[in-house]
Amino acid sequence: MGRLAGRVALVTGASRGIGRAIAKRFAAEGAEVICVARTQGALEELDDEIADAAQNAASGSHGKAVLVPLDLRRFDDIDQMAAALYQRFGRLDILVGNAGDIGGGLAPVGHVDQKHFQAAFDINVTANYRLIRALDPLLRTSDSGRAMFVTSSVAHRNQPFWGVYAAGKAALESLVLTWAAEVERITKLRVNLVNPGPVATRMRAIAFPGEDQDKLPQPEDITDTFVALAEPGCERHGEIVSVR
C-alpha cells in the first residue's frame, strides 16, 4: 500500500513543474488527486501519465486524477469547487497550495505595473486565502487533514527586483502560520509551508534565463518532503520546512 492510500488530495498549479511532480507522486502513493490548473491540455496530459502509471503498477494501490480546469483568480469558482468536492467526497485530506506567479517578471518596486502587481498578489496571496476559507471545513472533516503551501526564502532576503514576489510570499507565510496557530489546539489539522529552494521549473527559467537548469534539482527530486507532510502520521505543524 502507498503512503497516501485512500487519501483525497488537492494540488494547485498541477499542470507543470513542482505541482505536476507532486500530483504524480501523490497518485503513485495511492491518493486520489484533484489536479487544479488553468491549462486543460496540460491537465489531460497529466491524467494520461497518471493513468498509464496505474496500469503499469504492480498492485492496485495506485491512485488516480480528477481534473479541475480552474483559473484561481476567479475566486468565486474556488467556492464552487469546494461545494462540488463536498458532494463527491465529503472531505479533503490533503491540500497543496503550489500555484504561484512572479507578476510579469522582476523589476524595481517603483517600476512595477499595477496590473502585474495585482496579478502576483491575486495568485500568491488572495487565491490561497480563498482556498483556506473554502476548504478549511473539508479538511477538518478528515481524520487527519494536512495542508501545505509553497513559499520561498526570497520572502526574507530583501533581494533587489524581487519585491512584489517577496512581499506576496511574506504575506502568504503570515496568513498560513496564523491559520496554523488558530487550528492547532482544536482540530487534527496540520498546516505547514514548504520552501523547495532552487528547482528546475518554468518560473525559475523566466527569473534566471541564463541558468543551467540541468544542474538544479528537478521537481521530482523534492516530492519526498510533500509526501512526508501529507501522511496521516505527520505531526509537524506551523513550520516553514526547507527541502534542503
Q: H-type helices in 125-233, by residue range?
A: 127-141, 163-183, 202-207, 223-230
Cβ proximity of 146 and 93 under 8 Å? yes
Nearest-Å Rg of the Cα atoms of the chain is: 17
Which phi and psi angles does 3 have, rounded to 5°?
Answer: -70, -20
Distance of CA 153 to the CA centre of its chain: 16
165 is catalytic: yes
- 74 pairs with which residues across the strands? none
- Grid-cell match 493513468, residue found: 51
Strand order in the sheet with 8-12: 65-69, 32-37, 8-12, 94-97, 146-150, 190-195, 240-242
Q: Is 97 within 8 Å of 149 (Cβ atoms)?
A: yes
Catalytically annotated residue among 26, 117, 149, 165: 165
List the helix and strand counts (H, then E) for the chain.
8, 7
**Would you please indicate which residues are annotated as catalytic (active-site) residues?**
165
